[in-house]
Amino acid sequence: MRRTVALAFSGGLDTSVCVKWLQEKYDADVVTVTLDLGQRDALSEVEERSKLIGARNHYTIDAKDEFVNDYVFPSVAANALYEGKYPLSTALGRPLIAKKLVEVAEREGADAIAHGCTGKGNDQVRIDVTARAMSPSLQVIAPVREWNMSRDQEIIYAQKNGIPVKPSKSIYSVDQNLWGRSIESGPLEDPFTEPPADVYEWTASPEEAPDAPGYLELGFEQGMPTRVNGRKMDPLGLVEYVNQFAGSHGVGRIDHVEDRLVGIKSREIYECPAALAIIEAHRDLEKLVLTRHELDFKAQVERQWAWLVYSGLWLEPLRAALDRFISTTQSRVSGTVRIKMFKGTAAIVGRSSDYSIYDLAMSTYNRGSKFDQKSAVGFIELWGLQSRVAAALSPEVEESQEIGHKRTEAKEAE
Ligand code: ARG
């Protein structure tokens, strides 16, 4: 009996060749699976292409809501930016793709799943690890990792096998979903080269962005963005709106050198307008409502959370445990943040919350503050206690005091 393989299918050259190659090499029937994660591709064309190449069946799965609710919004609560920069857009989508592949494999009686990831990136790790954790008996096949064909060889293979080759739209390797666009390769591989204008599709160049700033008020409830300019919006609609608005002001471009899990350093360009604006606003609101101790500890948790997700360990129990800590902190993260967008920047210019622990009566510089300045004296006495004792014993401090004295003497002598 021929075996069945469920293949993650984008309709591009790699995954198109995968269909035929799996049929030939693994004597398999291929069922293709395409998720709609808000990547703005023509998914009916992808389905037609799958049928044309000879897949036994095709699934187009609208996973946008699940993606936003179960993957993207938890990443907002975690202020997740890998290496301080990358909002994990591609990384968050992979475990969901793996999950859907496993579900289709079960429904179709497949004994393997397959994907078109190369052996040099993070995506293979994310899909393999998640799928195998969910269903240990399923085999994972990554044809691109096995076949070792160059792009030209793939084109020849496609032509031989009656796979129509579309002229490639771009010289870049692009992955996109509603949380962002990742762009790699071509001229971007030289980290000293400024990205050419044509890498960007979701953001206006700051030079061409409107000359007047645009303001956006984002409302949060328990850590989740729920309102734009006072109007309630569903999660998906909200992300799409902010992507559009922030992108039109040139907000969302990221250019950095990133450490891949497999050890390679790579130059990455991203366009993540909604992600950057929403995370920045969320982080700012947290500073108004959380204590310094909560913020301090949460920053460590956030770093760990982003690392786990980046490195393919979505199903690692630690991630769930960190999520429980994070969600406890979010009970007071409700309020409104004002963002001013202007030619590529998103500046937070206002924040308010019913749970604010900012106390004007304490912090004001005006007379009449409730804060008793005299109590600072005793506080400083105790706060500096150990530093004073240690300083008195330390030769370094003596030396630096001596140098200080000498300088003063020299000055006085002048
Ligand atoms: N470096 C990013 C990440 O690891 C983006 C990967 C983009 N993937 C792609 N197939 N072009 O998440």
Helices and strands per DSSP (H, E), number in the chain: 16, 14
Catalytic residue among 135, 173, 327, 369: 173
Question: How far is residue 342's CA from residue 214's CA, in Å, rounded to a whole number?
Answer: 6
Whether residue 94 lies in the annotated active site: yes
The model's confidence at residue 362, banded by pLDDT at 50, 70 and 90, is confident
Asked if 122 and 260 count as a contact pair (C-beta separation under 8 A), the reply is yes
Asked if 203 and 274 count as a contact pair (C-beta separation under 8 A), the reply is no
Nearest atom (ligand 1) to Cα of 174: 11
Whether residue 173 lies in the annotated active site: yes
With a cut of 80, say whether residue 412 has pLDDT above it.
no
**Count of all residues that appear for the chain in the document:** 414
Estimate the crossing angle of helix 13-25 against helix 151-160, to 10 degrees. Answer: 60
- For 294, phi then psi, to 5°, come to -60, -45
SS3 for 174? Answer: strand
The model's confidence at residue 367, banded by pLDDT at 50, 70 and 90, is confident
What are the tens digits of pLDDT across the range 121-177?
999 999 999 999 999 999 999 999 999 999 999 999 999 999 999 877 789 999 999
Averaged pLDDT of the chain: 95
Asked if 6 and 139 count as a contact pair (C-beta separation under 8 A), the reply is no
Asked if 17 and 163 count as a contact pair (C-beta separation under 8 A), the reply is yes
In angstroms, the first-to-last Cα distance of the chain is: 99
For residue 398, the model assigns a pLDDT of 61
Nearest atom (ligand 1) to Cα of 268: 1
The string of DSSP letters for 311-325 reads TT-TT-HHHHHHHHH
Whether residue 123 lies in the annotated active site: yes
Any atom of ligand 1 within 6 Å of the Cβ of 154:
no
Whether residue 41 lies in the annotated active site: no
Identity of the amino acid at 177: N
Any atom of ligand 1 within 6 Å of the Cβ of 330:
no
Contacting residues for 6 by C-beta, under 8 A, at least 6 apart: 31, 32, 33, 101, 104, 105, 108, 110, 112, 113, 114
Q: 171 or 245, which is more confident?
A: 245
With a cut of 90, say whether residue 194 has pLDDT above it.
yes
Question: How far is residue 271's CA from residue 89's CA, in Å, rounded to a whole number?
Answer: 10
Considering the entire predicted model, what is its pTM? 0.93
Nearest atom (ligand 1) to Cα of 183: 11
Q: 209 or 165, which is more confident?
A: 209
| Cα 395 to ligand 1 centre (Å) | 52
Catalytic residue among 10, 29, 123, 175: 123
Asked if 235 and 68 count as a contact pair (C-beta separation under 8 A), the reply is yes
335 burial via Cβ count (<10 Å: 0-12, 13-18, 19+): buried
Any atom of ligand 1 within 6 Å of the Cβ of 91:
yes
Any atom of ligand 1 within 6 Å of the Cβ of 271:
no
Identity of the amino acid at 20: K
SS3 for 138? Answer: coil
For residue 368, the model assigns a pLDDT of 75
What are the tens digits of pLDDT across the range 252-304?
999 999 999 999 999 999 999 999 999 999 999 999 999 999 999 999 999 99
- Per-residue DSSP letter, 234: -
DSSP-assigned beta bridge partners for residue 270: 182, 254
Q: How far are the Cα atoms of 61, 110, 138 from residue 4, in angstroms, in the given order? A: 19, 4, 11
Question: How far is residue 100's CA from residue 8's CA, in Å, rounded to a whole number?
Answer: 9
Any atom of ligand 1 within 6 Å of the Cβ of 14:
no
The model's confidence at residue 97, banded by pLDDT at 50, 70 and 90, is very high
